[in-house]
Structure 1
Amino acid sequence: MKIILRILLLAAWCAAEEPLFFVLENNHIRLTVEKATGAISSFFVKANQCELISEKRLQANFRICLPLPDYQANYLDGMRQKPVEVRQEDRTITVRFDGMSSAKGIFPIKLSCTITLQDDYVVFKARLINHHSQPISEFWFPRLGGWTQFGDRTARLATPNYTSMSRHTTSLFKNYPGSRGLGAEAAEWACTYPGMVMPWWDLYDEKSDLGLYLGYHDPVFRFSSWHTFLMPDHSGLPDAWLTDQTSGGLPVGLVFSHIRFPFIHSGEILDSGEFIIRVHQGDWHQGVQFYRDWFLRHFTLNHGDNWLRHKRAWFTSILYQPEDKIIADYQTYGRWCGEAAEYGISCYELIGWHRGGLERNYPDYQPEEKLGGRDGFRGLMKEIDARQGKCLAFINYNILDQNTDWYKKELFKYKQQDQFGQQPIWMGWGESTFLARSGMNVRYHVRGSITPDFEKLLADQFIERIQDGAHGFQIDKLCVGAALDFNPLNALKPDVALCQGLVQAVDRLYQKCRTVNPAVSMASEFSFDRLLPYFAVGYRGSGPRDISTFRFVFPEWTSCQHIARPQDFNGINYAVLSGQVICVEPECYQGSLKQPLYHDLANYIKEVERLRDELHSLIFYARYFDNQEGRITPVNPEAQNKLQYRMHGHFHNGQRALVVINTSAEPVQYAWAFTHQKVAQALLYQPFVPQRKIRIDELLEIKPYGLQILVERISR
């Protein structure tokens, strides 16, 4: 008996001595993972001595939503589940669950998660298997709770934007941007991808010059969300965070989650991509290079030989407006293109050329008889060819005009659907009457699903237009083309149907068009990175005075800067500043560039294009460093906001060019510097002025609404 007691005491002592957690640690990060739950209870960043999980009561691991017929909000909270295994092998911790429970019962769901520490980053992966009769709608993983700071509470977040460059402006730890909505358990703020143009966030601690990258790397393009709760709620004050004294004893902190929407049914599996949390020096400019490297390992991005990427200016016009008003026929438009060519423009976007005109009768893409019919369309293409020009025909892809008899009788079955078989209706644009322009009387469109029959209907027409001589397309509204799609005719999962499925459809269209003409190229109004391999130019990837984050991360791409006002010299300068296409649309898409009203603008475009032609590989098809690697300092500090600058660089030889613009009506003097290396001399280019050499100690003066380009002199 004494021997048995001793054995039992020894076993109890050994159990008491066994640690309750696993630790992963290297020179950058120390992670602690609880054995009881598989949750991360400590995420310590060594470079700035910051503990991310400082409010332990909020630690989290995962969450699953398994909607039941009588209870849609059936959440399975990971912290209430008991893992069947938690083990550590070298740099990886594996956590397995077999069976999940909620207040509604026990459910046959399996989950295996891995947490791997690799140098300066952590990798989260998961395999989720559903054996229940109902589909899993939401999977929240990784889930990290208890964040109160990064470095300190002043750290700010940057997100990848569609029409503006990323900046660290979002204050999660102080001026939290979200609020508590109906049904939410706390204040809530989230971003979706698509929605964001790339799948990452980046936090920046300025005091330590340290960033934290949070990115999802998955070759399969899925709809997902970056989500935060601020527990227990927004304070209602400018400082959104409650304190220990005002929180009523409840824990205060962020819970971060990455949410996917797999809708896997019984017997189906979700194998996730990799969610990465990486510590890096610098802000998002440095952190995002990690994503670029991953992207280029998986997708081809080569627009160097694409003629469209080297077209620096377009002329565009809408021929036929949706309220039956004809602005120009094919013959008149051809004349306008010839007039635009006098100012150095050789690429033309043709809008409203098809039956019914712009924003009408989609997806009928046959040439409009009132404008000259198919013969007139072919003749226009030949005329543009004869002057060595290129024409992009404006089209949509998965957009349907719900007002046509065709839609009501047949096409309705192709619309994208939510779980209730419906779709929010908001897409409608009018032009020719006040009722139409104000949105009170417009033809509303719906987003289409991607099904074999619908895809063929589109492809057959687009291939015909290439056969008719079109050099390519500008595909509009792809920025709204991606969403969860429950259309029963689409065989893909809802989270990939209009993400991966849409990209694959575009790929097939491209290949078919290039069997007719290998030089076909396309631009698009798109807003997510997976389409970058297909579109060298974005139609709306810029704001009036800015450009998408794409431009920095993937300088192989650029966007259009739209110019309609007859004295918009600032707009042209902004196009040069960011390396954008000048898309000139006189009279708001209704006239020729060659008219007295546009005389000054046309000649300015011609001169700017002369400069950009000479400096093409330095400021247009070139690397884009945003506001990095250079500096300008106005002599008068009050003029700081009047000047803007951006740095560009040659793709191959490393030479830099600094573009400076003055957005004010007053001249400004400034000092300048290149900061990537010591640059003592540069060449100064500006419109209508001969180039000259300048030295680093020379102050420059830029005229009102002026443009200057400083090109680094390099030894040959």
Structure 2
Amino acid sequence: MIQTIGNSFLSLGFSSKVNNLVEIKNCITGDNYVKVVPEYPIFSLSCIRKSDGIKEVFIPVQSGEIKNTQDGINKKLEVSYYSLYSEGRSVDIGAKVIIEISDDCSTRWNIELENRDAEYEIVEVLFPRITGIYLGESWKDDIVIYPHHAGEKTESPVEEYVTDRYLNFWRANTCFKDGVYYREINYCGLASMMWMYYYDNNNGFYISSNDSDFLVTGMRVETGGSQNPWMGFGIRKYVRIRSGEYWKSNPYIIAVNCEDWHWGAKTYRKWIERYLKFDNNPPYLKNEYGLNQCYNFKKDGKIMNRFDSIPKLFKKGMEYGLRHMFIASWNRKGFDCNYAEYYPDMDLGSSMDLYNGCNYVNENGGFVTFYINARLFDMDSDFYPTLGQEMAINREDGSVIVEQYGSPVKFAVMCPSDRGWQKHLIDTACWMVKSYGATGIYLDQLGSAEPYPCYNEKHSHENIGEFNKGYLQIITVLHEKLKSLNPDSFLMIENCGDIYGSYVWGNLTWNGDPYDEYFNVFKYTFPEYVQVNMVNPRTDLCGEEMVSRFYKDMERAILLGSVMWLGVTYKFDEYAELSNYARKALSFRKKLNPYIISRRYVDDEGILGISEGLKLSRWVSEKDKDLIIVGNCNQLAGGKIVLNKDKKPKKITCCDIEGRCSDVDFSFKDNKLTINIPQSRMLYLLV
């Protein structure tokens, strides 16, 4: 039997036979997104059998009572299940799926669970799981937005997600199980947000978790591949529901419309902004546009510089106009060693040498940020058996999570929701500010590496999925403590997370081209958050490929208004052309900064057309002219852009990366403004 719920925007058809949606109809376009009858139910539960610790997956088979009610414009569908099954065995867990809709294109979903079973504990809730869909007549023109780090934009994901590049990634890769190709990454870290979007030229599909508890959340996207073309989307919550307990989820939102991904970003932003606090950083940081990153003290057992070289390295950065000095590889045994023993490495000099170096920077118009890893403990450390092991995340079987990063060193992943690790990180950061004169603290991996549930019942957290709340506690407390020590202090993190961003100044955003990286997604959703982009020459590339990549990375950083992450003390020595361009880019970015900080980034909204080979970003203000930054890294001639404009401007000013400024030619007709773009790698327009 199929139960239908809908309005003038969309219609959902729920089948009690397959326990999932068999219709997701866009009433504007007439397209039913469900092209393949789902083989998987709308939810499943992972449960641990208490007698032996074995984890089993239980699914609904036979629905119980179904209610389809209406109160004015508000409609509600409730589907109850009295027991669940796994390979013929039943478990005494009751579930209710609730779908609500009013008078717009969004639907609100919840699931209620009652664990009446004495033998099992629920630990994972996969809900909702929507499968069997693609948009329009063909899946080949569909696009998916996925919240991996600062965002991915993948065309034809049905096809792309099953290619070797996605199957062979070392993280966030495509897996294959039970006939399904899937990617699933956890929030908040590897996944920066709790929303996904799927669209073509006519149809849009949005799914999000509006979870104010910010539990560890798996963002799942799946496909049958091009031989069995369909896409699926699901959301997994890591929450322990013990025998005798009841749990109701926070809302999930599924929307059907005719919009592109910007609609999804705005919708998610509207929900989450009530939980965020903006403008938490010292005002002077708004004028920072680059930093001098120094990972060249001790690495892989080799000494490249000692602490008494800090003044020399700082002066080198100042030649580029970089007063912000970022110091890593300073700790005992150097980079990626002996975490979390954050003491100055004796081969590099004394603690006083480190203080004197930082003091030189501070007294000569600069400031220092120190690197510390916020997540790992070296398992060979003398203190791991006595301290690290107690603070480590435990899997359900009691084992710890072990990670390696291109070296023999093995690290255990610490639990940020345990008070022991929280205190260690907070105290370490405060000590760096108080003792060595640091202004900034960089917490490596905090918004980048995967969050996990923790089953260690000796820890201070109340439930298994509080990883994100732990880090949020760390950065909020640390933010206040550092401010009391130095009002100019700030935090940085690796990559990004929506709930973390309002307490940090910089998000060191990276991913890699093979991942279809699209930093515009996070930037558009949170234009207030500062991205720091890596723009060093890629030494893993050679010749023209390296040069081309360098210009592209520079272009993207400037288009996004990012802070440039430059290793000018050791990355540019052999590349005079690139070094000269880096200086020009920094000067250009400095000139842009007053326009950027007084406007809001809106990606390419309002742009009607752009010549192939050009890229742009638009920044708007109610009081001033629009800023349009144009990238043309291949220096193509004859480029044009077309934008929507209410009236013809008197003139349009253009300045390029070479320092040339002039008025440009344009035409205006029927509220369409066509601008001729000069031939330059980077330029900006005031329109």
Alignment check: 8 A CA contact 2:282 2:487 kept = no
Does residue 364 (structure 1) correspond to residue 341 (structure 2)? The answer is: yes
Partner of 1:661: 631
Does residue 708 (structure 1) correspond to residue 683 (structure 2)? The answer is: yes
* Structure exhibiting the larger radius of gyration computed from Cα positions: 1
1:534 deviates by 1.9
Partner of 1:24: 5
Partner of 1:687: 657
1:584 deviates by 1.4
Change (3 A) 1:570 1:99: closer
Write the mapping of 1:198-217 to structure 2, written as runs, cut at 5 A: 198-206=193-201, 208=202, 210-217=203-210
Write the mapping of 1:341-490 to structure 2, written as runs, cut at 5 A: 341-423=318-400, 425-429=402-406, 439=407, 442-450=408-416, 451-468=418-435, 469-478=437-446, 479-480=448-449, 482-490=451-459
1:255 deviates by 5.9
In 2: Cα distance, 1:255 partner to 1:564 partner: 37
Alignment check: 8 A CA contact 2:131 2:232 kept = yes
Candidates 108, 111, 115, aligned match of 1:123: 108
Tell me the SS of whatever aligns to 1:339. Answer: helix
Write the mapping of 1:64-83 to structure 2, written as runs, cut at 5 A: 64-68=45-49, 69=51, 72=54, 74-78=56-60, 80-83=61-64
Write the mapping of 1:517-596 to structure 2, written as runs, cut at 5 A: 517-541=486-510, 543=512, 547=519, 549-565=521-537, 568=550, 571-586=553-568, 588=570
Partner of 1:502: 471
Does residue 88 (structure 1) correspond to residue 69 (structure 2)? The answer is: yes
**Which 10-residue stretch deviates more, 351-360 or 146-155?**
146-155
Tell me the SS of whatever aligns to 2:356. Answer: helix
Partner of 1:12: none
Tell me the SS of whatever aligns to 1:137. Answer: strand
Candidates 214, 228, 241, aligned match of 2:228: 241
Root-mean-square deviation (Å): 3.5
Q: What do the CA deviations read for 1:170-228 (whole angstroms, capped 9, x no partner)?
A: 4349986799x99943323233232332222211131x2x3111111111122233446
Query: Which letter does structure 2 place at the counterpart of 1:611?
Result: F
1:647 deviates by 1.5
Alignment check: 8 A CA contact 1:490 1:497 kept = no
Q: What do the CA deviations read for 1:98-119 (whole angstroms, capped 9, x no partner)?
A: 4445555543323233210131
Alignment check: 8 A CA contact 1:152 1:205 kept = no
Alignment check: 8 A CA contact 2:483 2:489 kept = yes
Query: Which letter does structure 1 place at the counterpart of 2:185?
Result: T
Partner of 1:50: 31
Paired residue total: 648
In 1: Cα distance, 2:481 partner to 2:252 partner: 35
Query: Which letter does structure 2 place at the counterpart of 1:88?
Result: T
1:294 deviates by 0.8
Alignment check: 8 A CA contact 1:53 1:148 kept = yes
Q: What do the CA deviations read for 1:395-430 (whole angstroms, capped 9, x no partner)?
A: 11121112222224432232223223334544235x
1:158 deviates by 1.7
1:609 deviates by 3.5
In 2: Cα distance, 1:147 partner to 1:448 partner: 39
Partner of 1:513: 482
Alignment check: 8 A CA contact 1:200 1:216 kept = yes
Percentage of pairs with the same residue: 17
Partner of 1:138: 124
Does residue 321 (structure 1) correspond to residue 298 (structure 2)? The answer is: yes
Q: What do the CA deviations read for 1:247-298 (whole angstroms, capped 9, x no partner)?
A: xxxxxx6665433232321133332121111123321122321011111122
Tell me the SS of whatever aligns to 1:668. Answer: coil
Tell me the SS of whatever aligns to 2:451. Answer: coil
Alignment check: 8 A CA contact 1:67 1:73 kept = yes
**Which 10-residue stretch deviates more, 668-677 or 31-40?**
31-40
Alignment check: 8 A CA contact 2:149 2:496 kept = no
Q: What do the CA deviations read for 1:138-165 (whole angstroms, capped 9, x no partner)?
A: 3232244553645654452322344665
Change (3 A) 1:146 1:571: closer
Partner of 2:171: none
Write the mapping of 1:155-304 to structure 2, written as runs, cut at 5 A: 156-162=142-148, 166-172=152-158, 184-194=177-187, 195-206=190-201, 208=202, 210-227=203-220, 239-241=226-228, 256-302=233-279
Query: Which letter does structure 2 place at the counterpart of 1:95?
Result: V
Alignment check: 8 A CA contact 1:312 1:580 kept = yes
**Which 10-residue stretch deviates more, 468-477 or 193-202?**
193-202
Write the mapping of 1:99-118 to structure 2, written as runs, cut at 5 A: 99-102=83-86, 105-118=89-102
1:649 deviates by 0.8
In 2: Cα distance, 1:362 partner to 1:57 partner: 47
Change (3 A) 1:191 1:35: closer
In 2: Cα distance, 1:57 partner to 1:317 partner: 52
Alignment check: 8 A CA contact 2:134 2:142 kept = no
Q: What do the CA deviations read for 1:510-564 (whole angstroms, capped 9, x no partner)?
A: 2222232233211111343221122232113354796362112111123223244
Alignment check: 8 A CA contact 1:427 1:446 kept = no
In 1: Cα distance, 2:38 partner to 2:523 partner: 41
In 2: Cα distance, 1:537 partner to 1:651 partner: 23
Query: Which letter does structure 2 place at the counterpart of 1:448?
Result: M
Alignment check: 8 A CA contact 1:163 1:546 kept = no
Partner of 2:671: none
Write the mapping of 1:5-44 to structure 2, written as runs, cut at 5 A: 22-33=3-14, 40-44=21-25
Structure 2 gaps of 5+ residues are: 168-173, 539-546, 668-674
Write the mapping of 1:298-313 to structure 2, written as runs, cut at 5 A: 298-302=275-279, 305-313=282-290
1:350 deviates by 0.9
Query: Which letter does structure 2 place at the counterpart of 1:406?
Result: F
Change (3 A) 1:588 1:622: farther
Change (3 A) 1:286 1:447: same
Change (3 A) 1:275 1:588: farther
1:49 deviates by 0.6
Partner of 2:670: none
1:312 deviates by 0.3
**Which 10-residue stretch deviates more, 42-51 or 380-389?**
380-389
Query: Which letter does structure 2 place at the counterpart of 1:583?
Result: W
Tell me the SS of whatever aligns to 2:441. Answer: strand
In 1: Cα distance, 2:38 partner to 2:148 partner: 37
In 2: Cα distance, 1:139 partner to 1:345 partner: 48
In 2: Cα distance, 1:587 partner to 1:385 partner: 18
Change (3 A) 1:45 1:560: same
